[in-house]
Amino acid sequence: MKILITGSKGQLGRELAETLPEQGHEAVALSRSELDVADAGAVERAIEAHSPELVINAAAYTDVDGCEKESDLAYSVNALGPRNLAQVCERWGCELLHVSTNYVFDGEGTRPYEPFDPANPISAYGRTKLAGEEYVKHLTSRWYVVRSAGVYGRGHNFVRTMLRLSRERDVLKVKADEFISPTYARDLAEGIVGVLEARRYGLYHVTNAGSCSWHEFAREIFGLAGVEVEVVPIPGSEYPLPAARPANGVLSSLGSPRLRHWREALADYLEREAVLGGRVGGD
Ligand SMILES: NC(=O)c1ccc[n+]([C@@H]2O[C@H](COP(=O)([O-])OP(=O)(O)OC[C@H]3O[C@@H](n4cnc5c(N)ncnc54)[C@H](OP(=O)(O)O)[C@@H]3O)[C@@H](O)[C@H]2O)c1
């Protein structure tokens, strides 16, 4: 299948650009400088030029706190970007797979969120991502929306930040009352291939299995990396940020491809990235 990837220099975009050809697909990987999804004309020209059978939208403005301050930009990229793609995909008869987030939920629930649970975002990032999902669902007939959570790969992420901070401080305070399913971008890319090859349109939740608090995640990172640092659990209220985060950010993978456990994926990531040149510590 000929597949156009937007945001190809992001964590997920990079993995898709490698995984899709490995799985026998032709990938056209376009970075932000090659295709700005917020530019409707540019989207039209790119799809006309490449004639993909499917577009994967891995482009997003993912700085959750930045989205609070720059809500216009967040809306342009996270909502109007998928709107532009949806309109053009529909016109050119190609499928659209849009990537979204657990931050469309408010996190008040006490069990993992099912795909059909009502969304109620509590941040500008979550609101703009939900608006993007809605545009995709309403403007295209052949769509997939894949929500994920706590993604890390080759880029700016929690794992790299923790490892960097551990070189600067002896004690780290990490939130223990927010829960996620950390997800390796490489595994997410493989889950996405599973979704698009099955060709059943609709809404999916794709994360590594299991869940943990950010504190537990940090402890596992340091344990696996052999880093000695004290990790103190704190409530989120002790570390206020511009954007609110859902306390329960765990997604149920009901009806979606199942990925391996997050601990196994993290170990693989740390090993693989070290082999690839020690970039994990490079944040
Ligand atoms: N990261 C997470 O924890 C997480 C969790 C749940 C869901 N997701 C979703 O997963 C998807 C991929 O996330 P990720 O972690 O790979 O994010 P990422 O590493 O921040 O990558 C996003 C990419 O999109 C690009 N981009 C930004 N604005 C653009 C525009 N107007 N046009 C085209 N490209 C643009 C960025 O380019 P620049 O770097 O040049 O800005 C970046 O390369 C997103 O839909 C995100 O919402 C992420």
Residues 214-234 have pLDDT tens digits of 999 999 999 999 999 999 999
pLDDT reported for residue 65: 97
The tokens for 25 are 């697909």
CA distance 226 to 81: 41
200: DSSP letter: -
DSSP lists the bridge partners of residue 213 as 179
With bands split at pLDDT 50, 70 and 90, how would you rate the model's confidence at 275?
A: low
Residues 248-258 have pLDDT tens digits of 999 999 999 99
What is the pLDDT of the chain when averaged over all its residues? 96
Residues 116-175 have pLDDT tens digits of 999 999 999 999 999 999 999 999 999 999 999 999 999 999 999 999 999 999 999 999
* Average pLDDT value for residue range 41-49: 98
Instruction: Centre a 10 Å sphere on the Cβ of residue 85 and count the other Cβ atoms it contains.
Output: 33
Tell which atom from ligand 1 comes closest to the C-alpha of 98.
45
pTM beyond cutoff 0.85: yes
Domain ranges of the chain: 2-157+182-209+251-259
CA torsion through residues 66, 68, 70, 75, sign: positive
Active centre residues (catalytic): 125
pLDDT reported for residue 274: 75
Q: Rounded to the nearest 5 degrees, what angle is found at the Cα of 209, between the Cα atoms of 203 and 210?
A: 120
Binding pocket residue ranges, ligand 1, CB within 6 Å: 6-7, 9-13, 32, 35-38, 58-62, 77, 81, 99, 101-102, 129, 148-151, 155
From the CA of 6, how far away is ligand 1's center (Å)?
9
For 2-157+182-209+251-259, give the CATH class: alpha beta
On the question of pLDDT at 45 being above 80, the answer is: yes
Neighbour-count burial of 235, counting CB atoms closer than 10 A to its CB (0-12 exposed, 13-18 middle, 19+ buried): exposed
pLDDT reported for residue 137: 98
On the question of pLDDT at 188 being above 90, the answer is: yes
From the CA of 192, how far away is ligand 1's center (Å)?
15
pLDDT reported for residue 279: 52
pLDDT reported for residue 256: 95
Residues 56-94 have pLDDT tens digits of 999 999 999 999 999 999 999 999 999 999 999 999 999
